[in-house]
Chain A
Amino acid sequence: MGGWLTAFIAINQRELIRFWHNRSRLLSALVRPLLWLLVFAVGFRSVLGVSIMPPYETYILYQEYIVPGLCAMIVLFNSMQNSLSMVYDREMGSMKVLLMSPYPSSFLLFAKLFASAVLSLLQVLIFIALCFLVDVDISLTGILFATPAIFLTAFFLGALGIILANFIKQLENFAGIMNFVIFPMFFMSSALYPLWKIRESSEWLYWICYYNPFTHGVELIRFALYQHINTSALLVILGVTIVFSTLALLTFRGQKHA
């Protein structure tokens, strides 16, 4: 058992060390949502009204509405960044070191996903702390509630990142992921506008947003931040996490032969 724990800690430690060495990654991970919060949300708050809808009990400012979506955005970008670092590891050869470990692929994959989720959580917590500076108050209990929701969403997106890493043959192809995965996933979700608002404008776009699993990740985090459980979002995220993790395991085993 000690050996398993040693390996698990080492995989997590390595990801943290790499993240620490690349501090500009943290900076860009925070600047992106802060720009949305401080510029986009401020500019649009009088244009986009948000009605009273669960989990909110009163009218809220647009800035408050988009915070859960921006938390999910941080998780999304971090997960895709991890998929990029897997491609880098494969190109640089260090992936072979992991694959030559005697521990099972499922365990190694779990450790990698866990490490990615920890990094996502750390970045989200720093972002939430910065939100206090612009008067978006989230209770400590809400943050505690949201921690497992962020973790679960990070697992689902991390697994998706590993699946995508298998299809990215070179680092240069990562721009495609930005255009075809990250942006559509983020914009076609409830991260920036409520689904009912989207439905008012476009029925088909509403259904795309509704079936986008990222929407459910956003809603899971949104409800959790206000100490509620969105059961349907939880079930969807649990389901896609299981499906994507299974697919990720299959592609991760395939990395051995890549």
Chain B
Amino acid sequence: MSNIQVETLNHSYGTKPALHEIKFVIEPGFNVILGPNGAGKSTLFSLLTGILPAQTGKVLYDQVDIKSHRRAIMHRLGVVFQQPTLDLNLSVQQNLTYFGALHGISKASVLQQCEPLLQAFSLADRLSDNTRSLNQGHRRRLEIIRALIHQPQYLLLDEATVGLDADTRQLVLNTLRDYVQANNVTLLWTTHLMDEVLMTDNLTLLHKGTIKAQGKTEVLLADAQCRTVFDWYCSLTQTVEAM
């Protein structure tokens, strides 16, 4: 199945609420959580990865609670955080093999597993380069390759294309969409960039800590009689703000 189920999540920082009654199920495929800055995407992401403990509610991976079975879930979860997490003191290869080793995977297996993606992301000839020498786009590509090393069933990517040029963004998105289709994984993509959403994606709109809409993009747009995601987003968030 490989689904992720979120049950009635609430989260606040002190007295400031960040998420309110979040409830959804994510099935295999390309799932997008769209929301402006400050909508609560990163908080939700931290709860999904277990980086933050849930104050109320549950996060279940195939009906298994991350709170009680975090280790087992980590084996099957690939994550790209919004904040860069590469070790700039290590080379490209060392970053990959270090991550692989932290999941119990040998260096040979890591390099074999990464080879096609290194080629696709034009990093194959930069294995021995220091990570510090890579530009932001290449660092992001490396983080994505790294998240796939242990062949996860679930992939969570938080604003993974922020700061990338248009070509690199397209390359990253196309590669991941192909990967999802070929491997039947459950991918969750959080973004504030509307042009990253396709009509075939499963879309969730997160606004001011609550879910405003969820469904297939084309259905959501048709129901709201909107032509573009931007129109749909504006109509929905303006409606919300008027309330």
Spell out A's residues near B (CB within 8 Å): 2-4, 6-7, 9-11, 13-14, 17-18, 21-22, 89, 92-94, 96-104, 256-257
- Min distance, Cβ A105 to any Cβ of chain B, angstroms: 10
| Majority secondary structure, B binding face | loop
Most chain B C-beta atoms within 10 Å of own C-beta, residue among A7, A17, A97, A100: A100
Q: Do the beta carbons of B88 and A17 come within 8 Å of each other?
A: no
B89 contacts partner chain A, Cβ-Cβ < 8 Å: yes
B85 touches which of A6, A96, A256 (Cβ 8 Å): A96
Q: Do the beta carbons of B72 and A97 come within 8 Å of each other?
A: no
Q: Do the beta carbons of A6 and B105 come within 8 Å of each other?
A: yes
Residues of B within 8 A of A3 (CB): 103-105
Using known A-B contacts A17-B90, A21-B89, determine if residue A257 contacts B104 with beta carbons closer than 8 Å.
Answer: no
B215 contacts partner chain A, Cβ-Cβ < 8 Å: no
A98 touches which of B50, B88, B102 (Cβ 8 Å): B102
Residues of A within 8 A of B106 (CB): 2, 6
B89 touches which of A13, A18, A102 (Cβ 8 Å): A18
Among the 9-residue stretches B92-100, B205-213, B224-232, the one with 4 or more Cβ atoms under 8 Å from chain A is B92-100
Residues of B within 8 A of A102 (CB): 71-72, 74-75, 103-104
Q: What are the nearest 9 A-B pairs in CB distance?
A: A3-B104, A10-B101, A102-B74, A101-B102, A93-B85, A93-B83, A102-B75, A6-B101, A94-B87
Using known A-B contacts A3-B104, A96-B81, determine if residue A101 contacts B87 with beta carbons closer than 8 Å.
Answer: no
Rounded to whole angstroms, the CA-CA distance of A171 and B8 in the bound complex is 37
Rounded to whole angstroms, the CA-CA distance of A93 and B102 in the bound complex is 16
B51 contacts partner chain A, Cβ-Cβ < 8 Å: yes
Q: Do the beta carbons of B52 and A257 come within 8 Å of each other?
A: yes
Q: Do the beta carbons of B104 and A97 come within 8 Å of each other?
A: no
Spell out B's residues near A (CB within 8 Å): 49-53, 71-72, 74-75, 77, 79, 81, 83-90, 94, 97-99, 101-106
Rounded to whole angstroms, the CA-CA distance of A9 and B74 in the bound complex is 20
Kindly count the residue-residue contacts between A and B in the assembled complex, taking CB atoms under 8 Å apart: 82
Most chain B C-beta atoms within 10 Å of own C-beta, residue among A6, A21, A103: A6
Residues of A within 8 A of B49 (CB): 100
Residues of A within 8 A of B84 (CB): 92-93
Rounded to whole angstroms, the CA-CA distance of A13 and B99 in the bound complex is 12
- Min distance, Cβ B146 to any Cβ of chain A, angstroms: 8
Most chain A C-beta atoms within 10 Å of own C-beta, residue among B52, B84, B103: B103
A94, closest chain B residue (CB):
B87
A111, closest chain B residue (CB):
B102
Residues of B within 8 A of A2 (CB): 104, 106
Residues of A within 8 A of B72 (CB): 102
Q: Do the beta carbons of A10 and B97 come within 8 Å of each other?
A: yes
Q: Do the beta carbons of B81 and A256 come within 8 Å of each other?
A: no
- Min distance, Cβ A12 to any Cβ of chain B, angstroms: 10
Rounded to whole angstroms, the CA-CA distance of A251 and B87 in the bound complex is 22
B72, closest chain A residue (CB):
A102
- Min distance, Cβ B149 to any Cβ of chain A, angstroms: 11
Residues of A within 8 A of B83 (CB): 93, 96
Q: Do the beta carbons of B103 and A257 come within 8 Å of each other?
A: no
B79 touches which of A100, A103, A104 (Cβ 8 Å): A100
Rounded to whole angstroms, the CA-CA distance of A99 and B83 in the bound complex is 15
A99 touches which of B51, B53, B104 (Cβ 8 Å): B51
Residues of B within 8 A of A4 (CB): 104
Residues of A within 8 A of B99 (CB): 97
Rounded to whole angstroms, the CA-CA distance of A104 and B69 in the bound complex is 11
B51 touches which of A9, A92, A257 (Cβ 8 Å): A257
A97 touches which of B75, B85, B88 (Cβ 8 Å): B85
Q: Do the beta carbons of A6 and B104 come within 8 Å of each other?
A: yes
A99, closest chain B residue (CB):
B51
A2, closest chain B residue (CB):
B104
A256, closest chain B residue (CB):
B51
Q: Do the beta carbons of B104 and A7 come within 8 Å of each other?
A: yes
A22, closest chain B residue (CB):
B89
- Min distance, Cβ B86 to any Cβ of chain A, angstroms: 7
A3, closest chain B residue (CB):
B104
Q: Do the beta carbons of A10 and B102 come within 8 Å of each other?
A: yes
Q: Can you pick out 8 interface pairs between chain A and chain B where the beta carbons lie within 8 Å of each other?
A: A7-B104, A10-B101, A17-B94, A18-B89, A96-B79, A96-B81, A97-B87, A100-B49
- Min distance, Cβ B19 to any Cβ of chain A, angstroms: 16
Residues of B within 8 A of A11 (CB): 101-102
Rounded to whole angstroms, the CA-CA distance of A22 and B49 in the bound complex is 33
Rounded to whole angstroms, the CA-CA distance of A109 and B170 in the bound complex is 39
- Min distance, Cβ A142 to any Cβ of chain B, angstroms: 35
